[in-house]
Structure 1
Amino acid sequence: MVRIRRGSERSSYGDGVAGEVSRIEGVTRVQRTFGFVDVSGFTAFTDLHGDAAAVEVLEHSRGLIRRYASVYGVRVAKWLGDGAMIVGVHPEPTIEALVDIVDEANRRENAPRLRAGVAVGDVIMFEGDDHIGQAVNLASRLADLAKAGEILAPATINSPLLVNTVLVPHGQHTVPGIKVPLEIARLERRV
């Protein structure tokens, strides 16, 4: 049985030291930034336009995700059908990558828009390449809550190092699986 001491954990909502690694009783915990991005309305789009159009949308969105992950030095951890999970050691490059991915994809005419969620926190590194924890779950739930074209994050994720991104308050929201309502922000390109 693995026990993690509660006193050694940090919040999954944006505080702590980026990239920090700790081992507690055989469990490796790392702080990472997680982003989930997917094609909003993909099922309806596929039903209306067919498989060939769906494949073209996937090829384009995956191409953007690969390109900006490479530019910002973040990793595509998993492809999830019409979406992806990206992971970064530091919040700023992960956030900037998501903003560029969603912004560029959403400028395309006659294509479904992307949406995303992002969160930072300590997670368990499982079997060397998987991440388990609240930050992963929160980023996924925020992506689910986002409307087409939106990127949602906990309001606490703000950083003075964000160069191209601003946080716009989005109010307090109940997030499925999270006990306490959270202050959420929309991430937008700085103009």
Structure 2
Amino acid sequence: MEEGGRAGPFETMTWLQAVRLTAGLFIAAGLVGLVYASLRRADHQFTPVGVAIPAIAGLVVGAVMLALGERFDRRLFFPLGPAAIVLITVGQYFAGPAPIGVVLYVWVAIFSFYVHTRRHAAFNVALIAVAYAVLLGVREGNASPGALWLYIMSTVVVSAAAASWPIEQINRLAVAERTARAEAEKSAAEVAQMNTTLEARVSAQLEELERLSRLRRFLAPQVADVLLSVGEDGALAPHRREIAVLFCDLRGFTAFAADAEPEEVLSVIDEYYEVVGQAVHKFQATVGAFAGDGVMAYFNDPLPCDDAAGRAVDMASTVRDDVLRLSDAWRAAGRDLSLGVGIALGYASLGVVGFDERREYTPLGRVVNLASRLCDEAKPGQILVDLRVQNAVGDRYPSEDIGLLSLKGFPRPVPAFSVAGLPTSR
């Protein structure tokens, strides 16, 4: 029996199976001995008590092994073979000339090849040869003991050799089956690991898609993609930054919405938002809010950009031109609508505000209020900007100084400029 929980050179059985099989051998041999001892024979060499004692010893050994099971000491396993050979030899001595002893010798030899290594099995066969030679030497009345020994040993060796070949094939099949099972378990473990990795990747991708979906509510797609690569948490954390804020809405929309059918109002809003949305994407603006016909967008956050004021004016000019083309069709349908825009440049506090079910990333501060008030003051088709925006883009866009405006919420009048026409250069 080998260490490590299995028996034999090819590990064909568990330790408990080997113990039970060996115990069965001892019990079977003991029962055979007791049956043989109970027979009445007219043979002066036959001693029933001498046969019964080793038989009972075999029964006791087998019973103890069955009782102990896996707890049977592994160090005692190999000596069991020699012990069985000694008990058989003693029983054979008191049984007189009887073939039953030879059968038991063959049984032990075959069994040794099944549960032991070849080296141990060969040792047991050699021990059988020595034991039987001693038996023939001490027992009287044996004619031609050498020839008898040679005959008996030939029987034992040939029987053991004949049995060892199929046993070896069984062992090899068992090894192949166990190897295949181990490889299958390994493959199953690898597949399970791959599934776990795939699930983690899918989960990460779903989280990324969810983040992208949140970002796309107020960012141009290309801006959202950049934020995903640098990390949303850091980019959207509360902070202060200089931004250009743009407010725009439709002049005459309130009166139009009061009299028009809901379907007509939504149709106009859809056309208007389509124009604004295309400009948001083109100039990579961040959308802060939609409110009816009013839109607030800003530049330089969360993705920094060069010339935030110039981008804001470019976007306002593009939306104004596109809405002007829409207004021709609206006017033909009796809708007197036009665009007004206000733009301011300054510092704002930015971060995520709201509650669990609804959160938005938005700027707060004077610059936001100023852009909103300028939008309120803008006439149809007019783009009003504050002094800082004018200083940033005045050499590129023709503009008109409209003087100081008294705006709600501002204690002092604010200088304002009206941007007109296309940029002179970029």
Instruction: Calculate the TM-score normalised by the size of structure 1.
Output: 0.79
SS at match of 1:127: strand
User: Is residue 382 of structure 2 the alignment partner of residue 150 of structure 1?
Assistant: yes
User: Is residue 284 of structure 2 the alignment partner of residue 73 of structure 1?
Assistant: yes
Query: Matches of residues 10-159 of structure 1 in structure 2 within 5 Å?
Result: 28-89=239-300, 90-107=308-325, 108-109=327-328, 110=331, 111=335, 112-127=337-352, 129-158=361-390, 159=392
Q: Which moved more, 1:132-141 or 1:27-36?
A: 27-36
* Residue of structure 2 equivalent to 1:182: 414
SS at match of 1:189: coil
Which stretches of structure 1, 4 residues or more, deviate above 3 A after TM superposition? 160-163
SS at match of 2:407: coil
CA distance in 2, matches of 1:98, 1:44: 23
Change (3 A) 1:48 1:27: closer
User: Which structure: greater helix fraction?
Assistant: 2
Contact 1:116 / 1:151 at 8 angstroms: preserved in 2? yes
For the aligned residue pairs, the C-alpha RMSD in angstroms reads 2.0
CA distance in 2, matches of 1:72, 1:50: 33
Contact 2:343 / 2:383 at 8 angstroms: preserved in 1? yes
CA distance in 2, matches of 1:58, 1:161: 32
AA aligned opposite 1:57: V
CA distance in 2, matches of 1:156, 1:30: 15
AA aligned opposite 1:62: Y
Contact 2:309 / 2:393 at 8 angstroms: preserved in 1? no
Change (3 A) 1:160 1:43: closer
Greater C-alpha radius of gyration: 2
CA distance in 1, matches of 2:260, 2:344: 33
Contact 1:92 / 1:161 at 8 angstroms: preserved in 2? no
Q: Deviations 1:115-163 (Å, cap 9, x if unpaired)?
A: 1111011011132722110000000011111122111111331225875
Change (3 A) 1:52 1:99: same
Q: Deviations 1:90-138 (Å, cap 9, x if unpaired)?
A: 1111111011102220232114111111101101113272211000000
SS at match of 2:420: strand
AA aligned opposite 1:126: G
Q: Which moved more, 1:146-155 or 1:55-64?
A: 146-155
AA aligned opposite 2:284: G
Change (3 A) 1:74 1:161: farther
Contact 1:92 / 1:162 at 8 angstroms: preserved in 2? no
State the shift of 1:172 in Å. 1.3
Instruction: Calculate the TM-score normalised by the size of structure 2.
Output: 0.37
Contact 1:96 / 1:162 at 8 angstroms: preserved in 2? no
